[in-house]
Every structure is written in structure tokens, then in C-alpha cells.
């Protein structure tokens, strides 16, 4: 039986050359407990790495070359083989979504450069939002996980309302308080309820008056939390008519026989209006 090869210690300069990771990056990975030296001399503080760590160092370099976030690199290194593969599969999905998002943004930029309004090709319909009583559920979500969080909050809220003896409607709204991005932003889930029932004190309710709004159907493209295109189209639509946008854009979702219908809508005020709807 062939004996195991002895582990040879490499200085940080040698290890840097072998892995193409800079000494500065290696010190950061040490602090983050991603790739720690095999030995640190107490007298001088010099770092030494084992030659058996070179493969991991090169793998980390590849992960960083493809812009895998440092937090995900940490998850990757600390996970078993199956967990590490899951991290990469998740990142691959995010790359696909980012590519599609960047491609749409590029196309919009080209249209703007050519002085063409991208909103011209998006159908805007006028609606009247009825007066209603809604229960309000604030929550936080980022662009990537928005629909997943919205569905979870909707299910939790519907269960609580049913338990309280209220009748939540199939239609629900999400008030987009802040534009969704890669960081979490605050939004509000609004679920209409029958005001004839007694409203519990431990829930937040809001009375909404009837209001004019413009809406864009995004059912076919409702897969990610990027609403910039329909929001831009609605704002341009208001601007061409001299209308004033009121409050912030909303997302409306309704379960129908043919499936889930999704719209982005925005309340507006025309010049003839004397009061702004809430």
C-alpha cells in the first residue's frame, strides 16, 4: 500500500502563485473562515498553507471569477457535496434570470436611445377601483423572491381571516411601497374583506374610496419581481394625458377559472378631479 504523501507547507506567496488568489484575498478568506491557513506562526504572524489546500483555493478562485457572492462561497465551502451542488444550481438559475433581466433592460435602453417609447407597445386599460375595506399585512421581499413571499403571506393571511370569521376575497393587492431590487424592500399585502362582518381589533384595516386607475396585464410575464417596464408605461401614459399619479403602483392578483391573472395598476387624478383618492 502506497503511503500518504506528506503535506508540504507553502508560504502565502507560494500559495498565491499556485491558486492565483492574491494575498489580500487570502487574508479576507481567512477572516471569513472560507479558506484558513494550515498554520500561522505566532512569532511572526506568517501564514502557511498545505499543498493539499491548493485544489480548494483554485476552486474558490473559479467561484469568484463567476461572481458568486462571498456569502454563497462560504455556504459552498461549508456544505457537503450535495449542498455545494445546490448552491451552484441556485446561482445558475439566478444567472439565467439576471441575463433575461439585463437583456430586457438593454432593449429598453436601445428604444430610449432611438427616441421610441417602449410603453407604446404595452396595452393600458382604464379601470375604476371600487370602494372597499382591506386588511393590511406589511412584509419585506426582494425582487428574486417576491412572488414566493407574496404567495406565502397571502396563504397565511387568508387562513387568519378565515379563522376570524371573515371572508377574504379571491382578489388581493400588493402595494409596492418601494421599488423591488436585489435588496429587501417594504411592501403591503392588501386583502379585501366583507365590511358587514365584525372586524377584529388585532388586525389592521384600511378603508379605500373609489378611484380611477390605469392597469397593465402582466399575466404572461409574471415570473419575476421586476415591474419597471409596466410602471414606466403607466407613468408615460399619465404624462401624455396630463394626469397625476397618486400614491404608488399596486399589483393585483385574482384566481380565475383559466388561472391566475396579474396586473400592475396605478391610481391617477385627472385635471377635473377635485380630490385625490387615498
Q: Domain count of the chain?
A: 3
The answer on 110 and 139 residing in a single domain is no
| Whether residue 160 sits in one domain with residue 225 | yes
Does 189 share its domain with 106?
Answer: no
Confidence of residue 276 (pLDDT cuts 50, 70, 90): very low
What confidence score (pLDDT) does residue 116 get? 52
245 shares its domain with 162: yes
Q: How does DSSP classify residue 124? A: -
Give SS3 for 136: strand
Asked if residue 176 belongs to a domain, the reply is: yes
Same-domain check for residues 108 and 129: no
pLDDT surpassing 70 at residue 121: no
Rounded to 10 deg, the angle between the 23-31 and 12-19 helix axes is 100
* Helix (H) or strand (E) run with residue 223 in it: none
Global model pTM greater than 0.85: no
Shared-domain flag, residues 156 and 251: yes
Q: What 8-state DSSP symbol labels residue 221?
A: G
| 238 falls within a domain | yes
Percentage of the chain beyond pLDDT 90 is: 37
What pLDDT, on the 0 to 100 scale, is given for residue 120? Answer: 52
CATH value at residue 208: 3.20.80.10
Radius of gyration for the alpha carbons in the chain, expressed in angstroms and rounded: 27
pLDDT digits (tens, 9 = 90+) for 139-184: 999 888 899 999 999 999 989 888 888 888 888 999 998 888 778 8
Phi-psi region for residue 58, left (φ > 0), alpha (ψ -120 to 50) or beta? alpha
pLDDT at 126: 94
Residue 171 in contact with residue 261, Cβ under 8 Å?
no
| Of 19, 49, 78, the domain-final residue | 78
Please indicate, yes or no, if residue 230 is contained in any of the structural domains: yes
Q: Give the domain extent around 96.
A: 85-116
Mean pLDDT of 39-46: 87
Alpha-carbon span 227 to 250, nearest angstrom: 10
Tell whether 61 and 105 lie within a shared domain: no
Which residues contact residue 235 at a Cβ distance below 8 angstroms, ignoring those fewer than 6 apart? 245, 266
Same domain, 184 and 109: no
* Residue 135: CB atoms within 10 Å: 22
Residue 56 confidence (pLDDT)? 92
SS3 66: coil
Amino acid at each position: 500500500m502506497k503511503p500518504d504523501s506528506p503535506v508540504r507547507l507553502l508560504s502565502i506567496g507560494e500559495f498565491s502563485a499556485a491558486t492565483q488568489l492574491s494575498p489580500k484575498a487570502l487574508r479576507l478568506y481567512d477572516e471569513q473562515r472560507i479558506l484558513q491557513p494550515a498554520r500561522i506562526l505566532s512569532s511572526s504572524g506568517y501564514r502557511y498553507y498545505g499543498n493539499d489546500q491548493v485544489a480548494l483555493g483554485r476552486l474558490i478562485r473559479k467561484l469568484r471569477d463567476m461572481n458568486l457572492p462571498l456569502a454563497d462561497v462560504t455556504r459552498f465551502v461549508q456544505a457537503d457535496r450535495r449542498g455545494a451542488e445546490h448552491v451552484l444550481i441556485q446561482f445558475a438559475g439566478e444567472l439565467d434570470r439576471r441575463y433575461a433581466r439585463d437583456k430586457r433592460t438593454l432593449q429598453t435602453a436601445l428604444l430610449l436611445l432611438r427616441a421610441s417609447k417602449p410603453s407604446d407597445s404595452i396595452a393600458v386599460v382604464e379601470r375604476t377601483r371600487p370602494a372597499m375595506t382591506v386588511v393590511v399585512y406589511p412584509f419585506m421581499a426582494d425582487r428574486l423572491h417576491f412572488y414566493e413571499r407574496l404567495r406565502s403571506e397571502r396563504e397565511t393571511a387568508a387562513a387568519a381571516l378565515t379563522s376570524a370569521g371573515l371572508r377574504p376575497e379571491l382578489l388581493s393587492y400588493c402595494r409596492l411601497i418601494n421599488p423591488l431590487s436585489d435588496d429587501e424592500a417594504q411592501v403591503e399585502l392588501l386583502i379585501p374583506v366583507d365590511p358587514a362582518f365584525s372586524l377584529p381589533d388585532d388586525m389592521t384595516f384600511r378603508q379605500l374610496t373609489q378611484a380611477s386607475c390605469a392597469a397593465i396585464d402582466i399575466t404572461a410575464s409574471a415570473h419575476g419581481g421586476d415591474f419597471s417596464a409596466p410602471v414606466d408605461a403607466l407613468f408615460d401614459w399619465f404624462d401624455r394625458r396630463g394626469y397625476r399619479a397618486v400614491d404608488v403602483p399596486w399589483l393585483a392578483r385574482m384566481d380565475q377559472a383559466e388561472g391566475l391573472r396579474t396586473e400592475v395598476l396605478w391610481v391617477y387624478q385627472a385635471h377635473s378631479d377635485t380630490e385625490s383618492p387615498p
